Amino acid sequence: MSSTKEEEHVFSCYEITEECVKEALEEDKGRSAKLLSWKTENFTKKGDNYMTVVKSLKVKYKSDQRENEKSYVTKTLGHNPMKAFRDITKMGFHKEAQFYSEVAPALNVQLTEVGQLPLRIPACYYTSLELKEEVIILEDLRSRGFQMYDRRKEMDVAHITLVLKELARLHASSFLLRSNDGYENLEEVYKFITVDWINLNDESIKFSRELFEGFIENAVAILNKVGKYKQAIDWLNKLKPNVHTKVEEQLMQKSPQFSVICHGDCWNNNTLFRYNDKGHPAEVVLLDLQLTRIASLATDLNYLTFTSLEGLDRRKNINSYLKTYYMTFQEILEAGGLKMPFTYEELLEEYKAKHVFGIMSALEIVPLVVGEASEVPDYGNISEGGTDSFVQKQRDNMLQMFEKNPLLRQRFLPIFEDIIDGDIS
């Protein structure tokens, strides 16, 4: 037996073992598959991942007297100098592993029983949550032609439509599940999914509060540099002292008709697309489920539209986009014999009511989206008590990017149009 390891991520605290590779292979190919050799390789770059160490796992095996090769994707839990970030990443890793092992199978049963396709997420072949042995082994979707979308580009109509439809399927499937005996209270069935990074413990609360306040300070610095954004600056300064409370309220306060299992982190970087012969997107897969939560479906919609769409497109076409989402949601519920719990007008109002979360998400994500690798802040190296210096470094990068990177101006300034036009209080 042979194994080869490429250079490990600087914060990786656990190496893949032969035993977990065997178990993943047997789960995928059956117990007759015999592992011959394996190796891990780096294939992501800075800016692609923030909470886990992601690698490619190349496996050679023997089955039916033939030698074969298969590629998988491994996710391991990284190690960060700051306790708050370590706690958050561990929480997220555990949530993702349990989503794959417990939640996704239950949701897929609901979908397939009403004649729908399973959720478009990677197949999961192995999970371990043992201390210092945390690992997830997933399908390598590149083998089916899926590829990352350019995170520096806003999604066009064809791409965002696929993502909205898949989000609707995810959200609606939890309504189907909730209609079953014993699943009426999903928070009790899946208690792990109610844990959230914004209020995990005292350290995470302090960390998230400092981040939110820092993102507002960075935005104000940019707007002051640009000028002509006094109304948005006043709104941000008014929000700053209570921003953590406001975001927490938007995530935690649930109206029954909108409460679903959310992706939590649905933006450009966490999607893969397969294209047809004409180069048009034909299918999407949702990735990175570390921030799944039970919350208003409008939090996912705000997160996606504020981080992954150009501002003018979002504002001009939001009715069309939300109607696409609504119709897909309705299709799934009707297949299961359920009535829609809300009207389209109520969906639109709920979407607008969660704009603070959308704006705060964009203040963090958009600079990451449009930045070059050298301009992307390294969450993996935040030191204990170093949130201020981290935010300051991001601010310095943003001010420099504003001079030389037209994408930042193009994507960042339209975030505040809803404030200026009075669409948000």
pLDDT of 52: 83
Residue 310 CA to residue 343 CA, distance in Å, equals: 27
- The whole-number pLDDT of residue 257 equals 95
Q: For the chain, list the domains and their CATH numbers.
A: 2-102 (no CATH), 145-420 (3.90.1200)
Alpha-carbon distance of 24 to 38, in angstroms, equals 12
pLDDT of residue 2: 40
| pLDDT of the chain, 425 residues: tens digit per residue | 444 433 333 344 467 899 999 999 999 999 999 999 999 998 776 555 667 889 999 999 999 989 999 999 999 987 777 888 889 999 999 999 999 999 999 999 999 999 999 999 999 999 999 887 899 999 999 999 999 998 888 999 999 999 999 999 999 999 999 999 889 999 999 999 999 999 999 999 999 999 999 999 999 999 999 988 999 999 999 999 999 999 999 999 889 999 999 999 999 999 999 999 999 999 999 999 999 999 999 999 999 999 999 888 999 999 999 999 999 999 999 999 999 999 999 999 999 999 999 999 999 999 888 877 776 666 666 766 678 888 888 888 888 888 888 888 889 999 998 888 776 76
Q: What is the pLDDT of residue 377?
A: 67
Cβ-count burial of 238 within 10 angstroms (0-12 exposed, 13-18 middle, 19+ buried)? exposed
